Structure 1
């Protein structure tokens, strides 16, 4: 059976005094370092439009096995000094390793909504909602992330007391208003909370392979 793609979801805030160095680290070391790991397909950065945490990083993998590989273990346990410095300056971070399902549409739009599904949400209704919006101008794609409790170990400054592992729907669109409107519709239909982000930049494994 084909293994579902995986995704590492990392959202965080950062103090203003540390923001410039944080972005330099992310843009010039961290994303490239992660995408170079065997099994990783892409790394994408987003910035909040209306969200609790200002920065979001999404790393797609060929399967969840990428997070148990020797390459990932080496990268995760042998952080550079720059990485250790910035990981310890994250404010209210959130790390989840997720399986991707309910893939609908293709591509990455300029705007992203993250809808956190509440406990008891009927995930089976997701497919009908996706079908109902597929012809909406500006809609690009959506997919469900289901956190893996074992793989979702916390970041250094992430609270370990309350770490709910709720499924998250990623909704990507080509402009802000479409994203906001469809996210509000999905939130009502699926009983979800909404966070809105805009695309910063993306690096793919294919781009790295071609230098």
Structure 2
């Protein structure tokens, strides 16, 4: 199960010149700052498990509710980026950021590997497709070595809102409208689950990435500045 009813999902590449700085910033400022925001409860970062997975990094922040992501505390951080944030994000490439509601979450806990699936559902099909996907996810969560299966729905308008942190950036891509996450003990466990889920036509041409866990930050009172 995810740790709340909201989530911020971020995919990004990093220019080689900024890689060392990215790791230092992400570990020592950015993740502590984000998880220090009221209502943010956990941050996790993953790195691509194979060459076919792009972008290289996936970061997931879990919040107690979607309203936390809409709130003034989070927005104030986005509108007051530190100098370290400005310098580091200048090296970001192909970044996708989705502010999401947790639509369904099944499973016993977090895993060492994460599969991300970015896809779309036609607006007039949401009521039919979402219950079917949620049922398939529940079945996937019972497969051997699968520890979690989650469905996230993005608020595209909010996700694409420009702030002081993002207004001059050229790396930002369109937000993912729907996100499916699978957590497992190892990347090899995803094959059977994917075969089950791709019985849904909406997922057959989805953007799929396989990631290995690098770091988790739990709740902290630390804030930048």
Q: TM-score, normalised by structure 2?
A: 0.82
Q: Quick one: which of 182, 189, 203 aligns to 2:193?
A: 182
Count of residues in correspondence between the two structures: 202
**What SS does structure 1 have at the residue aligned with 2:158?**
coil
Write out per-residue CA displacement over residues 154-204 of structure 1, whole angstroms, 9 at most, x where no aligned residue.
Answer: 6423446xx254211111011121024423432344532221111111111
Alignment of 1:193-208 (within 5 A): 193=206, 194-205=208-219, 208=220
Q: Quick one: which of 67, 70, 85 aligns to 2:69?
A: 67
**What SS does structure 2 have at the residue aligned with 1:131?**
helix
- Work out whether residues 42 and 202 of structure 1, in 8 Å CA contact, stay in contact via their aligned partners in 2: yes
Q: Structure 1: give runs of 5+ residues left out of the alignment.
A: none
- Work out whether residues 9 and 59 of structure 1, in 8 Å CA contact, stay in contact via their aligned partners in 2: yes
**What SS does structure 2 have at the residue aligned with 1:157?**
coil
Q: Structure 2: give runs of 5+ residues left out of the alignment.
A: none
Write out per-residue CA displacement over residues 129-176 of structure 1, whole angstroms, 9 at most, x where no aligned residue.
Answer: 12333432101111111111222036423446xx25421111101112
Q: TM-score, normalised by structure 1?
A: 0.87
- Work out whether residues 115 and 183 of structure 1, in 8 Å CA contact, stay in contact via their aligned partners in 2: no
Give 1:101 deviation, angstroms.
Answer: 1.2
Give the root-mean-square deviation of aligned CA atoms.
2.0
Alignment of 1:77-88 (within 5 A): 77-88=79-90
- Work out whether residues 137 and 150 of structure 2, in 8 Å CA contact, stay in contact via their aligned partners in 1: no
Give 1:95 deviation, angstroms.
Answer: 1.0
